[in-house]
Structure 1
């Protein structure tokens, strides 16, 4: 019995080619191959070495090569007529087909669909090397998980800070506008000004006005009765610009200068004759510097400003006892409250009189501005609130000046200033009293350095 079907070898013609076991040799279509006839005309191999059917040399007689199955002419089998002595041809059963990898049913099924993947070998967690090079083994068990790296939260975390910053800026703007509205303003710019000069120039005036003070405050400060607003007790010129340190120049109030329209007189008389506007014009013509800003403060405002910052520390070189200024200060460093500070800057009980007084005024003004801009004051709402309220209510500025201009002034003085006094050439008794004469050459050199 053949594996390809029932035995029917005897039903085939005798000219069918058979193998060594007697089984018929089939072609690729499953049909039996006929043997080559012996009476075929002889011939030789054609050029190229290929065997031609019917040649003289059979395929099986070539030495050194395996015997291939004989080729068959399909026409001989397909159109061979039947004869009585030849049984009909029966096609053998074809061999079973081999599975093809190109058909879906023959593709290998992935392993993970039928069985789970093999477990990974268990690893023993090992702690990284320490600074001494030793490793520690945790023993069998699950591998410790690494801590997840925290990622930045982006703009979400910044939202509260942005809101706080926005609220602070809004509150600052509101407070600044409120304080700017409380400033007292006066016309201080003269009709005819000198040519523009470099930097920024402030005219700082301390008035001896007692207006607005109660009788109790007058007695505490020792200022005497109300004499109006006819005199200036302090006149200073502050200059600052790019690349130079701020310079604070004191102008003695008894300086003998020309007052436009009134002739030669003491410089503080200009305030009596024409107020801030005439005083500014007089200072401009005497110094040759263009005044950009004007600020004025009275006795009461000065004392209140000192109390608002919690007092100012001053080092007194020698004891001061001046009943006219209502002070009795020992020598040494000490904190001066409002009334004591006012008496310190007003007192003339010194060897040089008014010249020593203007020196004390410059020193105290620099210390006051430094204390007002100190972080302990700006970050303390119990000091910052009264300071803004006092400054905005007691300062008198020009019509074009604002609270932020005063803040810029304080910051400029906090960085350190160079203090000067207009060079003095001597004193003289005149029709208007004893006056201070300037050293014209030295004074001109000082003002030229500020232009």
Structure 2
């Protein structure tokens, strides 16, 4: 008898499966999404906060300085000349108690003309206090007599007549201010290559301790005032005064000062108590002055104009400093144009 076809033969039951059970397959679980991190967003947020804090700090400093600065009528109102010009004056007034003696009144103990020409060149010219000049309304005399006769305004007008520049800002510092500013930056390092024991200024300098020494405010003041024991007189004193200011400026704009709020506060307090400025000067103007001062110092464009004699006797005023008739006008012309070279300054 023939066998039935294989397809008709019963076989073992197939194992159960989801498809055989007439059920739909479960959809796969969605993959777990990892949280994305945005480190750059955090960096940006931190930078925004830091910038906001710096901006607030700067705004506070500007307001604090502008509100505390002592002011005086000083500018002549003359037509502007190209560039920016600051007249920096050291007063020998004893009113602040830094020096105690029988000297009365006040004179301009040091006079510095800081100019930034339109082309960017910055120069710092020391005008010896005994420089013989024509003082408007008073005739020929020593330049510091202008301060005695008519205060800052007459001194500014006298300097403008001598140099052909209009003074944009006036800055005056007393002897006590020099001392406090030096102490505010933690002292400075200055140099002198000969021994001194000067009774008038109080400077005692012993080169056995080094030609360059760290000094505090009191000694820095004596160092910048000393004249009679200097063989070059006012010329040497002007050099030391520029050295003191340059050292203070360098420390004032150093990284350690710019990153320390406490040092900034100390410097602001000392500066606003020490400085007297014109009515229009602001903290921004003082900041630009510091940068111009540093630029002139770094470039070596500092010193006195050409001098014909340190012992000029015009009569009635004692010995004066006489500028060169021929080269001094050319010097001030180059100063205005921003074409000065180190060789243009007095070489004596």
TM-score grouping bracket, smaller chain normalisation? 0.7 to 0.9
- Aligned-partner Cα distance in 1 for 2:66–2:114: 22
2:92 is matched with 208
Greater relative CO (CA pairs within 8 A, separation 6+): 2
**Cα–Cα, structure 1 residues 394 and 116, in superposed 2: closer, same or farther, change >3 Å?**
closer
- Aligned-partner Cα distance in 1 for 2:136–2:328: 20
Is 1:286 the counterpart of 2:166? The answer is no
Determine helix, strand or coil for the equivalent of 2:326: helix
Q: Which runs of 5+ in 2 are unaligned?
A: 1-18, 28-33, 337-348
**Cα–Cα, structure 1 residues 449 and 152, in superposed 2: closer, same or farther, change >3 Å?**
same
Aligned residues: CA RMSD = 2.6
- Aligned-partner Cα distance in 2 for 1:112–1:211: 109
1:395 is matched with 275
Post-superposition CA distance 1:143-195 (Å, at most 9, x none): xxxxx89642564653344233213311321222112111111111115x2x5
The answer to whether the Cα contact below 8 Å between 2:96 and 2:175 also exists between their aligned partners in 1 is no
Post-superposition CA distance 1:95-134 (Å, at most 9, x none): xxxxxxxxxxxxxx999965689xxxxxxxxxxxxxxxxx
Post-superposition CA distance 1:278-312 (Å, at most 9, x none): 00000000111111110000011110000000011
The answer to whether the Cα contact below 8 Å between 2:96 and 2:174 also exists between their aligned partners in 1 is no
Is 1:234 the counterpart of 2:110? The answer is yes
**Cα–Cα, structure 1 residues 277 and 112, in superposed 2: closer, same or farther, change >3 Å?**
farther
Determine helix, strand or coil for the equivalent of 2:190: strand
Is 1:267 the counterpart of 2:143? The answer is yes
- Aligned-partner Cα distance in 2 for 1:279–1:112: 110
The answer to whether the Cα contact below 8 Å between 2:188 and 2:247 also exists between their aligned partners in 1 is yes
1:370 is matched with 250
Post-superposition CA distance 1:181-214 (Å, at most 9, x none): 11111111115x2x5332111100000012132x
2:123 is matched with 247
- Aligned-partner Cα distance in 1 for 2:244–2:124: 12
The answer to whether the Cα contact below 8 Å between 2:84 and 2:117 also exists between their aligned partners in 1 is yes
If the length of structure 2 is used for normalisation, what is the TM-score? 0.81
Alignment counterpart, residue 327 of structure 2, candidates 417, 434, 442: 442
1:179 is matched with 65
**Cα–Cα, structure 1 residues 159 and 228, in superposed 2: closer, same or farther, change >3 Å?**
same
Is 1:383 the counterpart of 2:263? The answer is yes
If the length of structure 1 is used for normalisation, what is the TM-score? 0.63
**Cα displacement (A) at 1:379:** 1.7
**Cα–Cα, structure 1 residues 162 and 272, in superposed 2: closer, same or farther, change >3 Å?**
same
The answer to whether the Cα contact below 8 Å between 1:344 and 1:360 also exists between their aligned partners in 2 is yes
The answer to whether the Cα contact below 8 Å between 1:248 and 1:420 also exists between their aligned partners in 2 is yes
1:351 is matched with 231
2:6 is matched with none
The answer to whether the Cα contact below 8 Å between 1:366 and 1:413 also exists between their aligned partners in 2 is yes
**Cα displacement (A) at 1:277:** 0.3
- Aligned-partner Cα distance in 1 for 2:115–2:22: 88
Kindly tell me the number of residue pairs found equivalent between the two proteins: 305
Is 1:339 the counterpart of 2:218? The answer is yes
1:424 is matched with 307
The answer to whether the Cα contact below 8 Å between 2:114 and 2:292 also exists between their aligned partners in 1 is no
Greater mean deviation of Cα atoms: 155-164 or 429-438: 155-164
Is 1:314 the counterpart of 2:190? The answer is yes
The answer to whether the Cα contact below 8 Å between 2:82 and 2:118 also exists between their aligned partners in 1 is no
1:330 is matched with 206
**Cα–Cα, structure 1 residues 206 and 116, in superposed 2: closer, same or farther, change >3 Å?**
closer
Pairing of 1:19-418 with structure 2 (within 5 A): 114=24, 151-153=37-39, 155=41, 158-191=44-77, 193=78, 195-213=79-97, 217-218=98-99, 223-225=100-102, 227-229=104-106, 231-331=107-207, 332-348=211-227, 349-415=229-295, 416-417=298-299, 418=301
- Aligned-partner Cα distance in 1 for 2:23–2:62: 76
